[in-house]
């Protein structure tokens, strides 16, 4: 017989009285968008209720672990501002928070279920994958009805075994989900899943139930692919006599109407998106709206800071329908976030990207041209590379119907602009502007007719951040005049 004092002591440690949620990733690599959404929703539930948010590392699937993956988890959570109150790095009242360090705990609870008749020792030869998933044929397991004394004797003799959940025969099991409502399944459709594997480690389906209870978790957020496992979880909670937490099953994030997002298909992780020039707050804002929408007076609002999301987040806003990840929509969000930055914050974000292609000019001069004209930070290097190196461009760039410019007109404009700009004693943006607008009046042309060839000559590109005046000011008089002379030679 097991010592029940152990279980009573474990119960006594469970914090009670307020909302407690957990994000429980496996250290198997990158943080994909679905993982990030689960982390965000779990964090928002806790923060909205003034509760506790826990980080737990679920590393029982040793074969799939990736070196460095835990660091990715910690770094992503920190960058996103999803701070945890308890976890492996900071401890807490129900430590440890890494599943592999709780191995003895799972074994004790599995054996308690065996003693209570809700689980059994199974000595049948099954593949490792079957042990992990609990998927096997519907034929009755011959070990299910072994007398406990006989099974225990085989265990004591050293015979390899797993522990399986003993699903009730006949009848139904009903579970409640905050998003999908009540769902009832026939017990005969449920397999006797493996709870404890031959190596003594628990399966995911068992470990998460034990940990969620012992850590006092009140709300369990996970993907809707786990809906089919929820009846088995319910039966485990009932077998132990425990309260069942609130289930929150979120529908998947899809690449398109048919396919879930997948790293194998090149879909981006959080770190990929950040490396592609998206701001973390924009990513979080967009991910929050993948399957959730605000209600009431906030129903039309799309842009939310993290504190605003905490205030607005309610479970009745979570949708049953899959959400399609739209990179164009994220890009739109990102552009709004870039424009909303202070000039100083934008310069800080943009400077590394400016420096990729511009070494000879101060980023502080160039950044103001970019803030209203880029959607992603990774757009920047290609937009500003002309500052250091004038591209090789064709004379056809001087043709622009709207500006009433042709190569012949451009030649006349540049021949007049070169001496006018050479004669400027004080090279300020205002003086350059006044010089060129005055010259356009003297030449009896629209300002655009003069500015077009000046900008093309200065940048060698049809599309630039900033106009002729700003670009010439940054280049300086000597380089501007040199480039304008080269432009005149092309016409």
Nearest alpha-carbon partner for 119 in 52, 227, 54, 205:
205
Q: How far apart are CA 186 and CA 329, in angstroms?
A: 42
Buried b / exposed e along 379-394 (16+ C-beta atoms within 10 A)? bbbebbbbbeebeebe
- Cα 117 from chain centroid? 43
Q: How far is CA 415 from CA 404, 485, 486, in A?
A: 17, 8, 11
Q: Where are the alpha helices (DSSP H) in 90-203?
A: 103-116, 128-133, 148-156
Q: With DSSP H G I counted as helix, E B as strand and the rest as coil, what are the percentages for the chain, rounded to 5?
A: 50, 10, 35
Q: How far apart are CA 472 and CA 476, in angstroms?
A: 6
DSSP-derived pairing of the beta strands 172-177 and 181-186: antiparallel
Q: 303 by DSSP, 3-state: which?
A: coil
- Which pair of structure tokens corresponds to residue 107? 């074994």
* Residue given tokens 């990736």 in the structure block: 66
Beta strand residue intervals within 117-236, DSSP E? 119-122, 162-165, 172-177, 181-186, 194-196, 219-223
Query: CB of 409 within 8 A of CB of 415?
Result: no
Query: CB of 128 within 8 A of CB of 151?
Result: no
Give the number of residues written for the chain.
491
Q: How far apart are CA 273 and CA 37, in angstroms?
A: 14
Contacts of 27 (CB under 8 A, 6+ apart): 57, 59, 65, 66, 69, 70, 73
Query: CB of 364 within 8 A of CB of 354?
Result: no
Radius of gyration of the chain measured on its C-alpha atoms: 32
Say whether 263 is catalytic.
yes
Catalytic residue among 13, 18, 232, 263: 263
User: On the CB side of 476, how many CA atoms lie within 13 Å of its CA?
Assistant: 7
Contacts of 384 (CB under 8 A, 6+ apart): 354, 357, 358, 366, 369, 370, 465
Catalytic residue list: 263
């Amino acid at each position: 017989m097991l010592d029940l004092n152990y279980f009573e002591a474990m119960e006594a440690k469970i914090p009670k009285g307020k909302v407690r949620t957990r994000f429980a990733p496996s250290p198997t690599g990158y943080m994909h968008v679905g993982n990030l959404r689960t982390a965000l929703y779990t964090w928002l539930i806790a923060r909205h209720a003034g509760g506790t948010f826990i980080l737990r590392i679920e590393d029982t699937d040793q074969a799939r672990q990736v070196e460095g993956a835990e660091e990715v988890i910690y770094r992503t959570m920190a960058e996103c501002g999803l701070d945890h109150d308890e976890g492996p790095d900071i401890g807490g009242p129900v430590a440890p928070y890494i599943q592999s360090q709780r191995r003895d705990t799972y074994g004790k609870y599995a054996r308690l279920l065996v003693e209570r008749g809700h689980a059994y020792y199974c000595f049948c030869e099954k593949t490792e994958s079957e042990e992990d998933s609990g998927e096997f044929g519907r034929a009755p397991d011959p070990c299910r009805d072994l007398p406990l004394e006989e099974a225990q004797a085989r265990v004591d003799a050293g015979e390899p075994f797993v522990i399986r959940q003993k699903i009730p025969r006949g009848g139904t099991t009903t579970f409640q989900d905050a998003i999908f409502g009540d769902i009832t399944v026939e017990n005969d459709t449920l397999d006797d899943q493996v709870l404890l594997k031959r190596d003594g480690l628990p399966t995911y389906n068992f470990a998460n139930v034990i940990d969620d209870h012992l850590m006092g978790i009140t709300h369990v957020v996970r993907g809707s692919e786990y809906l089919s496992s929820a009846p088995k979880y319910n039966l485990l909670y009932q077998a132990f006599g425990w309260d069942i937490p609130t289930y929150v099953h979120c529908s998947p994030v899809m690449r398109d109407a048919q396919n879930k997002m997948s790293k194998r298909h090149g879909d981006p992780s959080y770190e990929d998106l950040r490396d592609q020039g998206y701001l973390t707050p924009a990513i979080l804002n967009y991910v929050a709206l993948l399957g959730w929408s605000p209600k009431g007076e906030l129903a039309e609002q799309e842009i939310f800071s993290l504190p605003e999301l905490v205030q607005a987040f309610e479970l009745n806003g979570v949708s049953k329908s899959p959400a399609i990840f739209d990179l164009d929509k994220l890009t739109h969000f990102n552009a709004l976030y870039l424009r909303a930055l202070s000039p100083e914050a934008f310069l800080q974000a943009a400077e590394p990207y400016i420096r990729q292609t511009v070494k000879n000019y101060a980023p502080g001069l160039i950044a103001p041209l970019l803030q209203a004209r880029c959607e992603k930070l990774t757009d920047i290097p290609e937009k500003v590379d002309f500052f250091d190196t004038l591209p090789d461009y064709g004379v056809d760039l001087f043709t622009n119907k709207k500006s009433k410019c042709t190569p012949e007109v451009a030649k006349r404009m540049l021949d007049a602009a070169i001496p006018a700009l050479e004669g400027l004693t004080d090279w300020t943006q205002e003086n350059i502007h006044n010089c060129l607008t005055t010259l356009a009046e003297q030449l009896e042309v629209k300002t655009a007719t003069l500015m077009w060839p000046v900008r093309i000559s200065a940048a060698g590109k049809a599309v630039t951040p900033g106009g002729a005046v700003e670009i010439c000011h940054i280049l300086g008089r000597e380089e501007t005049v040199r480039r304008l002379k080269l432009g005149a030679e092309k016409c």
